[in-house]
Amino acid sequence: MVKPTALRFATYYGAFYLMFGAFLPYFPRWLDGRGVSPEWIGWILAAGMIGRTLVSPIGARWADRAVRHRDPILAFAIGSVLVFALHLPVSTPWLLLVLSFAAGALVFGQIPVTDAFAMRAARDHAFEFGPVRAFGSGLFIVANFAAGALIDRTGTESVLAWIIIAGGLMALAAAWLPPGHRPSAHLPRPDEWKQLGRQLAGPLGLALAASALTQSGHAFYYVVSANAWSQSGISGAMIGTLWAFAVAFEIAFLWLSGRGWLGRLSPAKLMMIGGAASLVRWGLTALAPPLWVLFPLQALHALTFAATYVGFLRFTAQDMPDDQTALSQGLNSALSGGIILAAMSTVSGYAFAQFGIAGFAFMTLPGLLGLGAAFLLHRVSSLPPHKDID
């Protein structure tokens, strides 16, 4: 029997990813349909990631301090719907860039706050986080298929309508989340920032680097893969199928992540696996393989994304204080989906304009660096603990 608290989080994750499953792969198609150039698309999407960079830590800090954990999630969800509605009459690139900044801040700002809140709730109410989060990935697949087919039938304008409607459901689901009451607002400890700085100079810094670099390797995939594959003659419905196939393996990984040997893997080892898989995935995708080869390469999303994602979640749960988990997630979001991903998204726009699908090869570099950071984290984590001298 599904526990009521788990059901509320699953409903929110489902609604969020029903929106996100159209936004992430097809928003570049919508921009292309409005006549925006590949270079501008890169800049516009990068602006969204910069918005995520600036706002995610603020929202995360609010969540760590708030009397109700739900408040920042609900505020961001409502704001997202309003910002997407403002896109309706706009086709001027610089205005789209401004709106993308706001949309990125409000949409992506929900992810680290919700993940930290859901992991606390899973611990306190004794339910598994993985299956709850996997339900969201399942709705991401539904959105992939349905929105891709809708584009084939009605054109790219249908993407924005889908995002706005699904965003409304997301806001309703956010309002249904448990409040997550605290008895009173958290009072900061005197040594809190000193402890955080020590972590940033050591394990947390390495974990952030490993996660952010490997996740930023998805930039070309997120920004231009739909357009690149469309130009190669792959239909919108088949592009949705490719994305859905990737997410299906992500779901399987999330579902099993807390069980058996997967549940025993250290955060560093999970992120090492993600970095190594990214070298294979992006290096081979850059060779423009036939459609049937793209499917096993897409299956590696279970490792490039999900293993890296779970690795950092596991790091914050095991190695960070409870009152800094949302902040740690916010910093990860700001880097992995913000600064570094924004830079790689900008590179992706130009790489696609110059090299076409071969631009995927540029994504092996952050994967290699992420693998190196995860290996260093593994080395540091393997050292015997020592007593700090103040």
> What CATH number was assigned to the domain covering residues 4-179+195-382?
1.20.1250.20
- What pTM value is reported for the model? 0.75
User: What's the pLDDT at 196?
Assistant: 64
Q: Which pair of structure tokens corresponds to residue 201? A: 């100079």
Mean of all residue pLDDT scores within the chain:
85
Handedness of CA 138, 141, 146, 150 (dihedral sign): positive
Q: Are 46 and 343 in contact (CB under 8 A)?
A: yes
- Residue 110 pLDDT exceeds 80: yes
* Rounded Cα–Cα distance for residues 165 and 18 (Å): 10
User: What's the pLDDT at 384?
Assistant: 59
pLDDT digits (tens, 9 = 90+) for 321-374: 766 776 777 787 777 766 787 788 888 888 888 898 999 999 999 999 999 999
Q: Which residue has the higher pLDDT, 245 or 60?
A: 245
Task: Kindly indicate the confidence band of residue 190, based on its pLDDT and cuts at 50, 70 and 90.
Answer: low
Q: Which pair of structure tokens corresponds to residue 155? A: 């054109």
Tell me the residue type at 345.
Answer: S
Cα angle at 19 between 308 and 274, to 5 degrees? 10
Task: Kindly indicate the confidence band of residue 389, based on its pLDDT and cuts at 50, 70 and 90.
Answer: very low
Q: Which residue has the higher pLDDT, 93 or 2?
A: 93
User: What's the pLDDT at 87?
Assistant: 95
* Rounded Cα–Cα distance for residues 300 and 322 (Å): 32
Residues 218-231, mean pLDDT to the nearest whole number? 86
Other beta carbons less than 10 A from residue 293's beta carbon: 13
Share of the chain above pLDDT 70, in %: 89
Q: Which residue has the higher pLDDT, 322 or 147?
A: 147
- Domain extents for the chain? 4-179+195-382
User: What's the pLDDT at 338?
Assistant: 66
Q: Are 245 and 288 in contact (CB under 8 A)?
A: no
User: What's the pLDDT at 388?
Assistant: 46
Residues 99-113, mean pLDDT to the nearest whole number? 89
